[in-house]
Amino acid sequence: MRFDDGAAQLAPAGADGLVAGLLAEVHRAHTAGEWSRLKACANPDCQWIYYDASRNRSGRWCSMDECGDVMKARAYRRRSRGTPSV
Task: List residues binding Zn ion (CB under 5 A).
Answer: 41, 43, 46, 48, 62, 67
The one-letter amino acid at 10: L
Q: Which is nearer to Zn ion, 17 or 44 (CB)?
A: 44
Chain centroid to CA 15: 16
Question: Could you please report the per-residue DSSP string of 42-85?
Answer: S-TTT--EEE--STTS---SS-IIIIIHHHHHHHHHHHHHTPPP
Q: Which is nearer to Zn ion, 15 or 40 (CB)?
A: 40
How near is the Cβ of 51 to Zn ion at its closest, in Å?
12
How near is the Cβ of 8 to Zn ion at its closest, in Å?
33
| Alpha-carbon span 3 to 60, nearest angstrom | 43
How near is the Cβ of 37 to Zn ion at its closest, in Å?
15
Q: Which is nearer to Zn ion, 59 or 62 (CB)?
A: 62
